Amino acid sequence: MIIGLDVGGTHTDVVLLSNKGFIKKVKVLTNPSDLFNTVLTGITELLKGISPESIKKIILSTTLTTNAVVQQNVNPVGIVVSSGPGIQAELFGNVKHYYKVKGAIDHRGRETENINKQEIEDVAKKLKKAGIEYVAVVGKFSVRNPSHEIVIKRILNKQFKKIFMGHNVSGNLNFPRRIATAHLNAAVYSMHKEFFTAIKASLDKKGINAPIQVLKSDGGTMSLDASLEIPARTVLSGPAASIIGSIPHAEGNKDTLVLDIGGTTTDIAILVNKTPLLEPLGIKIGIYKSLIRSLKTYSKGIGGDSFVNVQEGTLVIGHERKGPAMAFGGLYPTPTDAIVYLGMMEAGDKKLAEQGIAQIANQLNLSLDDTANLIVKTTCNQILDHSMKMVERINKKPVYTVHEFMEGYKIKVEKILLLGGPAEYLAQQIEEISGIETSAVPLSSVANAIGAALARTTCEVSLIADTEQGIATIHEEDYAEPISNSYTEKDAIETAYTILKEKARGLGANEDELKEIEVIESQSFNIVRNFSPKGKIFRMKIQIKPGLINGFEKMKFDKAALN
């Protein structure tokens, strides 16, 4: 059996699945200052009457780091950049403790300027004086040769709690995004480690020794230990979980709009032939344009707990949450209050909800019923408006799924799937407004936890082989080996496959998942000098495809268990 656990800002959802289907769900309030007892409470309730030894794997998703980044509630960090000539590294220093230092590597990985050790030590003193504990070190061409980053880390290592290097982030070139990604890793590390520690302690308390994995923003998983090295990969794991949770309910021949309607935000995504779209460059979150692979999602500040008010005689919903709905003890009216008042939801205090609706009705000079219906309709209209604008933006650019580049493809939404707490109450209204077949997925209120549980382990590696220099490298994995001038594309693929499998096993992949490997990029270039061939450069990128774990692709839901 598998446990899926989604730690959100408001609720923590825990589900138990077997390869025969859904077994049990638990929902508890999240206490961010006491994650240990939050998770322990959920796990304890989930495992009543169930042996801990029967649990084979636990998969987590969380919005805690995402929320912290968006709200800029992260620790200040230091950034040390070695850029060399040709680019003004200062332009990308959007933080206070940002230092450009000497040293340069060219695009072939050759050193053109040495590191100045004394300069690095001087920077270290300034960072220590400022109270900095975590530092990101980034070189412009570190994916071609990470030696300068490694040297700088060695100089800084004993003076700071943890150093993050840019070449470990991704095999892709993009210096500004590499700086942002290394910065993001350093900024969220302490929060993620606290999360890691609390989860591990909670599971140990219950005697659960099964492997623990964390969902990444690309819809795949990695081991909890591995997540400490690149914690930024867990940012947007919440939206990724909702997408994975929707896949079993999508139809292969229809472009599907996925809406995860939460309390604070609605996450919007698209499935093409049951396959998520990919953000090809990397996610943008807050101030960070990163190299973190991600499923393409769009979050908008409207949900069940959005603040409802009247401005200049017009109903306004969002874009902030001022607490829970009045039906659940809050101080301000929300769309959830309208749902409760209309009798669509049994939970909550209908009298308190009515008080919130009355506040708005008096300002609009409408009846209570008309006001509640207007709030629900307006909420659905806004969600659909944001969704269709996302589709328009996607259709203006090439479409990338996690499996392929679809040149000239245009998204045409033919089905809508809803997830999240308000999903089942809004499905009919959204279908009436949009004219598109709409349904809430089974167990929509805990769909993120189910999505986390269903995700397979994924990863990728990027190999560069230069026969003139006689070396093949995968620098994000700290791998290098000498090669001969007869090295071929076939050799490059075999090397990349070997390293990818080793990496995947380290992240927690099983042998079935290792069968899902594909080449996503393969290039070769002749090196010619003085009209004479000198060698070749091979660039190879391969991945384990994101998707559902084997045996769960057609998971059935027991209707009796859904209640």
pLDDT score, position 558: 46
pLDDT score, position 563: 43
User: What is the C-alpha to C-alpha distance for residues 203 and 58, in angstroms, rounded to an integer?
Assistant: 9
User: Look-up: residue for tokens 């690095």?
Assistant: 120
Query: Computed from CA positions of residues 225, 36, 453, 172, in that sequence, does the dihedral angle turn out positive or negative?
Result: negative
Burial label for 398, CB within 10 Å (0-12, 13-18, 19+), is exposed
User: What is the C-alpha to C-alpha distance for residues 68 and 188, in angstroms, rounded to an integer?
Assistant: 8
Query: Computed from CA positions of residues 71, 75, 78, 81, in that sequence, does the dihedral angle turn out positive or negative?
Result: negative
User: Look-up: residue for tokens 């009705």?
Assistant: 361
CB 86 within 8 A of CB 75: no
pLDDT score, position 353: 94
Continuous H helices in 315-398: 335-341, 350-364, 368-395
Around 339, how many Cα atoms within 13 Å sit in the side-chain half-sphere? 26
Q: What are phi and psi of 254, to 5 degrees?
A: -130, 135
CB 460 within 8 A of CB 129: no
Q: What is the pLDDT of residues 455-486, one digit of tens each?
A: 888 888 889 999 988 999 888 888 889 999 89
User: What is the C-alpha to C-alpha distance for residues 163 and 119, in angstroms, rounded to an integer?
Assistant: 17
Contacts of residue 532, Cβ cutoff 8 Å, sequence gap at least 6: none
Residues, the chain, total?
563
What tokens does 457 get?
């382990």
What domains are defined for the chain?
78-186 (3.40.50), 247-441 (3.30.420.40), 460-544 (no CATH)
Nearest partner of 10 among 238, 269, 214, judged by Cα: 238
pLDDT score, position 132: 92
DSSP string of 279-335? ESS--EETTEE----EE-EEEES-STTEEEEEETTEEEEEEEE-SS-GGGT-SS--H
CA 148 from centre of chain = 30
Burial label for 337, CB within 10 Å (0-12, 13-18, 19+), is buried
Helices and strands: H and E segment counts in the chain: 13, 31
CB 381 within 8 A of CB 430: no
pLDDT score, position 315: 93
Residue 275 forms beta bridges with which residues?
272
Q: What is the pLDDT of residues 343-398, one digit of tens each?
A: 998 888 999 999 999 999 999 999 999 999 999 999 999 999 999 999 998 888 77
Angle, alpha carbons 252-258-259 (nearest 5°): 165
For the chain, list residues with pLDDT below 70. 9, 67, 70-71, 87-94, 286, 400-407, 550-563
Q: How many of the other CB atoms lie within 10 Å of CB of 198? A: 18
Amino acid found at 384: L
Around 498, how many Cα atoms within 13 Å sit in the side-chain half-sphere? 11
Rg (CA), the chain: 25
User: What is the C-alpha to C-alpha distance for residues 76 and 419, in angstroms, rounded to an integer?
Assistant: 35
